[in-house]
Amino acid sequence: MMPGVHFKHPRHQLSVLFHYRVKHIILVEPWGFPEFQETVETDRPIPVWIKALGAMFSPFNPLAGLRLVGPLGLTLVQTLRPDFKRKFSSMFSDNTVSEYIYHLNVQSPSGETAFKSMTGSCGWAKRPMLDRLDQLHPDIPISIIYGSRSCIDSISASSIKEMRTNSHVEIITIRGAGHYVYADQPDDFNHKVLQVCENVH
């Protein structure tokens, strides 16, 4: 406990301690902020067969199939995701990235299991972060980075900015980048991150 600091509530204690340790938060393509929107399914109905498959595989981790096929998993990754090799072609001319992705995901799925436990219907977060954003100390600045061609909805960033009217919230868009911002436009991405870091006091 810090001398001279009095806490009214456990959440207040966490917020103050976090404030002492964190100077700036950078979120890159963040997931899990908005609440589930039923209108999405109404506007674009999900086919019954996809719902059936989702229900059938819901007890399993998303990449369980990759582990199930054993050594054939590497070929599966290379076949289904040839974009991995293209994205990092400036650094690797072989299958290094595909092999890395394969070996990373055939290990004990701790992160995968955690993500599954946090995910609810249709990939939405069970406990949306926007509901808890008020617990973050207002003096902590946030920078949010998105790719202009990403599948991740950037509306959450605008919501964060509206909620934190007395805090610094910067929304950064990397032109020509998809979800893998750091791979699609590495120079622009690194430049923006360095700019943010240089302004941390």
pLDDT tens, position by position, 185-195: 999 999 999 99
Q: What is the CATH number of domain 1-35+125-201?
A: 3.40.50.1820
The answer, yes or no, to whether residue 148 has pLDDT greater than 90, is yes
> Tell me, what's the pLDDT at 168?
94
pLDDT tens, position by position, 63-117: 667 777 777 888 888 888 888 788 777 778 888 888 888 887 777 777 777 777 7
Q: What residues contact residue 161 under an 8 Å CB cut-off, 6+ apart?
A: 169, 171
Q: What residues contact residue 86 under an 8 Å CB cut-off, 6+ apart?
A: none
Task: Write phi, then psi, for 174 (nearest 5 degrees).
Answer: -95, 110
pTM for the predicted model, two decimal places:
0.66
**What residue segments make up the domains of the chain, in order of their start?**
1-35+125-201, 43-123
> Tell me, what's the pLDDT at 160?
93
Region of 29 (left: φ > 0; alpha: ψ -120 to 50; beta: rest) is left
CB 22 within 8 A of CB 139: no
Which of 14-18, 129-133, 163-167 shows the lowest mean pLDDT across its residues?
A: 14-18
Helix axes 96-105, 72-80, angle to 10 degrees: 120
